[in-house]
C-alpha cells in the first residue's frame, strides 16, 4: 500500500507585503498541517522502532500529523523549481537566518525577515515541516504529533536516563525531559525509591547518590494574588517533573534514571520528511502547491544535521516507491553524530554527546563517515552512503568546534584516525577557526560561562556559495571545489599533544587538556532493535585512566603561530585576523572549570600595539604591526574575500558585504579600542 499525504492549507498570505524579488517577483506564505497515513507492514518503514505497536485506523494504517510552512514564488514558473527543506532546529526555522542573514523568526512575513533576499532572488521554495515529535507548542514552533506505542493496548515501560545542569543559582525544578519546550516521559511511580538521582562534577567522576527523601517527582508552581498579595509558590505532585527543595547546584551534572511509560514512535519523523518532500517533488495534481518542482535539497545544522545524516543512512532518501527524495543534502555542524532518534524512549531534543554535557549519548555511533570503513574496536564494516541508486550528493560542513566537541575528525578518518578518502559524491569542508553557532547578525563579543570571549568569526557567506555549487552539481554535473579538511598526511590533523606544542603561550589563557573523547559504549543486547540499556556500560580497555574504556581516535586541526587553524576554508576574518579564533572555550570556575563549554569557541584578541605586546609578553604580533590603520585592515579582508571567490568558495556579492563589516576594525564583533 502506498503511503498517503494530505496537505491542509490553513493560511495563504503575501510575504514581504508583495515585494518583488528581481525576476522571480513576489512571494507568498502557506501554512497548515500535513496529515500522513502509513502501512506499518510496508517495507518502506519496516525499520521504524515500535511502529508495529502504534494504533491503527480501520484500514490498518498509522496516522500522524505535522505543522508545515512554505515560502514560494506566487508565480511558480518564475521560480527555479527547487525545493529547499530546512529541517528546523527544535521546532525553530533557521534557514533564513543563516542563508539570508535575516533575524531569526518562526513566522517570517515581513521584508526584514527576507534579509538579503538570497533564497527569493534565486527562486527557491523554502519549506519547513516538523520532524521532531517531542516538541511542545509555543513560540510559534512547528510540532509533529506522533502516536504512543503500546503492548496490545497496555502501557510500555522502560528505564530511561536524563541529565540536568543548572546554569544559575535558585533552580530547584526541571521538567523530566530537562527542557521546558520538550515532552517529558511520565514516571510510572512517584516513589523516589524506585528511581536514582545522582550528581557528579565531571562526566567520569563517581556519581554521588542523592537520598530519595531529598527530592520529589513534583513541580514548583508560582503565582501572585494570594493571601499575602505577593508571589506565592506551591509544590504539586507531578509525573513529569523533578523537584529538589535545596536546589540544583550550578554547573554540576545531575543524572536521573527512572522507569518511564508510553514511548512515542519518534522514528516517524524520518517518514514524515520523506513522504512530505516526495509529495512536493513528484505529485502532479492541484493538491501540491509546488507542482512542477524538479529538484529538492535539504539542510540541517547541529541536531538536524545529525538527523539528516541518519535519514540518509537508514535509507529514507528512497520514498515508498523507490524514488530519490533529496537530490542533495547539506548537513552542517553535525560532527560525527547520527544515531539517536529511532529508538524506544528516544529524546530527540537532547544534544549530541559533548565533553561535559550528555557525554554518554548514543548520538555518536559507528559508522561516522560517508565512506566504507571498519570499526577497529568491534570489527564491524559500514558506511552512511551505501545505496547509490537513491543516495544524494553531500556537502558536509563543519567548524573547528566540531573537531573539539563533536568528534568531527571521524567524518573523514577511520576509527583509528587515519585519513579516509570520501566517495566522489561527497564534499567535506572544515570552516577553519570558526565555531558551531556563528550568528550572522553582528554582535559584541561576550563570555557567558566561558573563560574567553565566544568566537566571533562570520561564515554565512559560505552557505550561499555552497547552495549555488550544490545546484550546479546536481543540475549540470559541475563538480564543486575539492574537500578542504585537515589531514594526517600533511600534519594538519594532529593529536592533542602535537596541538599543545603548536598553540602559542598567550598570557593568562588556559588550553584544553583534550578534545571530547569518544568511548565505545555498550547499550545492551537489544540496541539494534531500538531498546537501550540505561545507563550504558563502558567497554574496558585497561588504560586511559582519565576516561576508562576503549576509545575511538579523535583528532584536532593544527594551528599557526597565532593559534588559528591551518587547514580548511578560512573565512576572511580568519585569513586577516584580529585575534586568535578557536573551536574550543573552557568553562569558568563554578561551572565545570576547565572542561569544554558546550559548543562555544574562543576569540582571544591580539594585543593592539607593539607597546601592549611588550608589556604583556604576548608572542602574537599586535594589530598595528599587521595593519597600520583601518583602511589596511579593510583591504586585507577584501583581498581574502576575493581569493575565496576565485576558488569558487564564496560569491562575488559577498565581497562588498565583508569589506563593509570590516570598516571600523570589525566592530561590534571585535573588542578593539583603536581609533
Q: Which domains does the chain have, with CATH numbers?
A: 4-147+265-476 (3.40.50.1820), 157-261 (no CATH)
* pLDDT of 242 over the 60 cut: yes
pLDDT in tens, 312-324: 999 999 999 999 9
* Residue pair 387/429 in contact by the 8 Å Cβ criterion: no
**Inter-helix orientation angle 268-282/303-313, to 10°:** 80
Q: What is the mean pLDDT of residues 377-397?
A: 97
C-alpha to C-alpha distance for 427 and 435, rounded to whole angstroms: 19
Give the torsion sign (CA, 545, 549, 551, 557).
Answer: negative
* pLDDT of 229 over the 70 cut: no
Q: What is the mean pLDDT of residues 189-204?
A: 97
Please tell me the predicted confidence (pLDDT) of residue 546: 53
- Pairing type for strands 144-145 and 125-129 reads unpaired
| Contacts of 33 by beta carbon, 8 Å cutoff, 6+ apart | 7, 8, 10, 65, 66, 67, 68
pLDDT band at 1 (very low <50, low <70, confident <90, very high): low
Q: Which residue, 151, 119, 134, 144, is CA-closest to 50?
A: 151
pLDDT band at 192 (very low <50, low <70, confident <90, very high): very high
C-alpha to C-alpha distance for 521 and 359, rounded to whole angstroms: 11
C-alpha to C-alpha distance for 506 and 453, rounded to whole angstroms: 14
* Residue pair 410/486 in contact by the 8 Å Cβ criterion: no
C-alpha to C-alpha distance for 461 and 439, rounded to whole angstroms: 12
* Residue pair 416/553 in contact by the 8 Å Cβ criterion: yes
* pLDDT of 567 over the 90 cut: yes
pLDDT band at 611 (very low <50, low <70, confident <90, very high): very high
Give the number of other Cβ atoms within 10 Å of residue 448's Cβ: 14
Give the number of other Cβ atoms within 10 Å of residue 426's Cβ: 21
Please tell me the predicted confidence (pLDDT) of residue 543: 60
* pLDDT of 199 over the 70 cut: yes
C-alpha to C-alpha distance for 71 and 69, rounded to whole angstroms: 7
* pLDDT of 547 over the 90 cut: no
Q: What is the mean pLDDT of the chain?
A: 96
- Pairing type for strands 295-301 and 82-86 reads parallel
C-alpha to C-alpha distance for 493 and 163, rounded to whole angstroms: 32
Q: What is the mean pLDDT of residues 517-523?
A: 94
pLDDT in tens, 48-98: 999 999 999 999 999 999 999 999 999 999 999 999 999 989 999 999 999
* pLDDT of 534 over the 90 cut: yes
* pLDDT of 541 over the 90 cut: no
C-alpha to C-alpha distance for 318 and 327, rounded to whole angstroms: 11
End-to-end C-alpha distance for the chain, whole angstroms: 70
pLDDT band at 230 (very low <50, low <70, confident <90, very high): confident
Q: Report the phi/psi class of residue 522: left, alpha or beta, with left for phi > 0 and alpha for psi in -120 to 50.
A: beta
C-alpha to C-alpha distance for 116 and 661, rounded to whole angstroms: 15
CA-to-CA dists, residue 234 to 173, 213, 222, 241, 243, angstroms? 12, 18, 6, 13, 11
C-alpha to C-alpha distance for 633 and 674, rounded to whole angstroms: 12
Please tell me the predicted confidence (pLDDT) of residue 328: 98
pLDDT in tens, 255-272: 999 999 999 999 999 999
C-alpha to C-alpha distance for 99 and 114, rounded to whole angstroms: 10
Q: Which residue, 35, 42, 31, is CA-closest to 9?
A: 31
Please tell me the predicted confidence (pLDDT) of residue 222: 86
Q: What is the mean pLDDT of residues 592-616?
A: 96
CA-to-CA dists, residue 78 to 21, 26, 73, 547, 635, angstroms? 11, 10, 7, 57, 38
Please tell me the predicted confidence (pLDDT) of residue 576: 98
Give the number of other Cβ atoms within 10 Å of residue 11's Cβ: 9
* Residue pair 432/464 in contact by the 8 Å Cβ criterion: no
* pLDDT of 542 over the 70 cut: no
* Residue pair 317/348 in contact by the 8 Å Cβ criterion: no
CA-to-CA dists, residue 122 to 84, 118, 191, 467, 471, angstroms? 11, 6, 58, 10, 11
pLDDT band at 340 (very low <50, low <70, confident <90, very high): confident
Q: What is the pTM of this model?
A: 0.96
* pLDDT of 2 over the 80 cut: no
Please tell me the predicted confidence (pLDDT) of residue 294: 97
Residue 237: φ, ψ to 5°: -55, 135
Considering only CA atoms, give the Rg of the chain: 25
Q: Which residue, 593, 585, 452, is CA-closest to 515?
A: 585
Burial class (CB in 10 A: 0-12, 13-18, 19+), 673: exposed
Report CA dihedral (209, 215, 220, 226) to the nearest 10 degrees: -150
Q: What is the mean pLDDT of residues 169-198?
A: 97
Q: What is the mean pLDDT of residues 249-259?
A: 97
Please tell me the predicted confidence (pLDDT) of residue 227: 63
Q: What is the mean pLDDT of residues 501-523?
A: 96
* pLDDT of 545 over the 60 cut: no
Burial class (CB in 10 A: 0-12, 13-18, 19+), 652: exposed
Q: Which residue, 175, 173, 176, 180, is CA-closest to 195?
A: 176
pLDDT band at 224 (very low <50, low <70, confident <90, very high): confident
* Residue pair 601/399 in contact by the 8 Å Cβ criterion: yes
C-alpha to C-alpha distance for 32 and 638, rounded to whole angstroms: 44
Kindly state the percentage of the chain with pLDDT values over 90.
95
Kindly state the percentage of the chain with pLDDT values over 70.
98
* Residue pair 584/405 in contact by the 8 Å Cβ criterion: yes
* Residue pair 351/280 in contact by the 8 Å Cβ criterion: no
C-alpha to C-alpha distance for 202 and 251, rounded to whole angstroms: 10
Please tell me the predicted confidence (pLDDT) of residue 63: 98
Q: Is 51 helix (H, G, I), strand (E, B) or coil?
A: helix
* pLDDT of 333 over the 60 cut: yes
* pLDDT of 342 over the 70 cut: yes
pLDDT in tens, 651-661: 999 999 999 99
* pLDDT of 249 over the 90 cut: yes
- The gap from C-alpha 299 to its chain's centroid, in whole angstroms, comes to 11
Please tell me the predicted confidence (pLDDT) of residue 56: 96
Q: What is the mean pLDDT of residues 650-672?
A: 96
Please tell me the predicted confidence (pLDDT) of residue 540: 87
C-alpha to C-alpha distance for 490 and 405, rounded to whole angstroms: 23
**Bridge partner list, 63:** 37
Q: What is the mean pLDDT of residues 523-546?
A: 85
| Contacts of 149 by beta carbon, 8 Å cutoff, 6+ apart | 50, 53, 54, 156, 262, 263, 264, 265, 344
* pLDDT of 23 over the 70 cut: yes
| Contacts of 664 by beta carbon, 8 Å cutoff, 6+ apart | 630
Between these two residues, 227 and 10, which has the higher pLDDT value?
10
Amino acid at each position: 500500500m502506498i503511503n498517503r499525504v494530505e496537505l491542509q492549507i490553513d493560511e495563504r498570505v503575501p510575504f514581504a507585503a508583495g515585494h518583488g524579488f528581481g525576476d522571480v517577483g513576489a512571494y507568498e506564505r502557506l501554512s497548515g498541517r500535513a496529515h500522513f497515513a502509513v502501512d506499518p507492514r510496508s517495507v518502506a518503514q519496516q525499520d521504524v522502532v515500535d511502529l508495529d505497536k502504534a494504533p491503527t485506523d480501520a484500514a490498518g494504517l498509522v496516522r500522524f500529523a505535522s505543522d508545515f510552512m512554505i515560502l514560494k514564488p506566487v508565480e511558480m514558473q518564475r521560480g527555479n523549481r527547487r525545493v529547499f527543506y530546512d529541517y528546523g532546529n527544535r521546532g525553530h526555522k533557521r534557514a533564513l537566518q543563516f542563508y539570508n542573514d535575516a533575524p531569526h523568526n518562526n513566522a517570517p512575513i515581513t521584508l526584514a525577515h527576507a534579509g538579503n533576499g538570497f533564497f527569493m532572488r534565486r527562486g527557491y521554495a523554502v519549506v519547513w515541516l516538523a520532524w521532531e515529535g517531542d516538541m511542545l507548542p509555543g513560540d510559534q514552533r512547528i510540532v509533529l504529533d506522533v502516536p504512543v506505542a503500546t503492548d496490545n493496548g497496555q502501557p510500555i515501560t522502560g528505564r530511561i536516563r536524563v541529565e540536568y545542569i543548572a546554569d544559575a543559582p535558585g533552580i530547584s525544578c526541571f521538567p523530566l525531559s530537562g527542557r521546558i519546550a520538550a515532552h517529558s516521559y511520565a514516571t510510572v511511580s512517584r516513589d523516589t525509591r524506585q528511581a536514582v538521582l545522582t550528581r557528579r562534577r565531571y562526566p567520569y567522576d563517581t556519581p554521588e547518590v542523592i537520598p530519595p527523601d531529598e527530592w520529589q517527582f513534583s513541580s514548583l508552581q508560582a503565582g501572585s494574588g494570594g493571601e499575602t498579595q505577593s508571589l506565592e509558590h506551591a509544590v504539586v505532585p507531578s509525573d513529569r517533573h523533578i523537584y529538589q527543595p535545596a536546589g540544583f547546584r550550578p554547573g554540576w551534572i545531575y543524572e536521573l534514571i527512572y522507569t518511564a511509560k508510553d514511548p512515542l514512535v519518534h522514528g516517524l519523523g524520518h517518514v514524515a520528511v520523506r513522504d512530505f518532500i516526495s509529495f512536493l517533488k513528484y505529485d502532479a495534481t492541484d493538491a501540491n502547491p509546488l507542482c512542477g518542482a524538479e529538484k529538492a535539497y535539504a539542510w540541517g545544522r547541529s541536531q538536524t544535521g545529525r538527523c539528516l545524516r541518519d535519514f540518509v543512512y537508514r535509507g529514507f532518501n528512497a520514498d515508498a516507491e523507490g524514488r530519490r527524495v533529496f537530490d542533495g543534502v547539506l548537513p552542517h555542524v553535525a560532527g560525527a553524530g547520527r544515531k539517536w532518534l529511532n529508538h524506544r524512549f528516544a529524546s530527540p531534543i537532547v544534544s549530541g554527546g559533548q565533553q561535559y554535557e550528555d557525554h554518554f549519548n548514543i548520538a555518536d555511533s559507528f559508522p561516522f563517515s560517508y565512506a566504507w570503513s571498519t570499526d577497529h574496536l568491534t570489527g564491524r564494516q559500514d558506511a552512511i552512503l551505501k545505496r547509490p541508486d537513491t543516495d544524494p550528493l553531500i556537502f558536509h560542513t563543519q567548524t573547528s568546534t566540531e573537531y573539539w566537541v563533536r568528534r568531527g575528525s571521524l567524518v573523514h578518518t577511520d576509527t583509528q584516525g587515519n585519513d579516509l578518502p570520501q566517495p566522489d559524491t561527497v564534499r567535506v569542508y572544515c570552516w577553519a577557526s570558526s565555531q558551531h553557532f556563528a550568528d550572522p547578525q553582528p554582535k559584541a563579543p561576550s563570555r557567558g560561562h566561558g573563560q574567553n570571549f565566544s568566537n566571533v568569526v562570520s561564515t554565512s557567506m559560505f552557505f550561499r556559495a555552497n547552495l549555488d555549487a550544490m545546484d550546479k552539481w546536481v543540475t549540470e554535473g559541475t563538480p564543486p571545489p575539492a574537500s578542504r579538511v585537515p589531514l594526517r598526511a600533511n600534519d594538519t590533523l594532529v593529536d592533542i599533544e602535537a596541538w599543545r606544542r603548536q598553540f602559542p603561550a598567550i598570557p593568562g589563557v588556559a588550553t584544553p587538556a583534550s578534545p571530547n573523547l569518544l568511548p565505545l559504549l555498550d547499550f545492551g543486547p537489544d540496541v539494534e532493535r531500538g531498546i537501550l540499556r540505561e545507563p550504558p556500560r563502558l567497554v574496558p580497555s585497561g588504560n586511559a585512566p582519565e576516561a576508562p574504556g576503549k576509545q575511538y581516535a579523535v583528532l584536532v586541526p593544527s594551528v599557526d603561530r597565532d593559534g588559528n587553524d591551518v587547514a580548511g576554508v578560512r573565512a576572511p576574518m580568519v585569513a586577516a585576523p584580529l585575534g586568535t579564533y578557536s573551536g574550543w572555550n573552557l568553562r569558568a570556575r563554578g561551572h565545570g572549570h576547565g572542561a569544554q563549554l558546550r559548543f562555544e569557541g574562543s576569540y582571544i584578541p591580539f594585543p593592539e600595539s607593539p607597546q601592549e605586546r611588550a608589556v604583556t609578553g604576548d608572542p602574537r604580533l599586535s594589530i598595528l604591526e599587521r595593519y597600520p590603520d583601518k583602511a589596511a585592515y579593510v583591504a586585507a579582508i577584501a583581498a581574502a574575500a576575493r581569493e575565496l571567490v576565485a576558488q569558487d568558495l564564496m560569491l562575488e556579492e559577498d565581497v562588498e558585504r565583508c569589506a563593509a563589516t570590516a570598516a571600523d576594525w570589525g566592530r561590534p564583533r571585535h573588542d578593539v579600542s583603536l581609533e
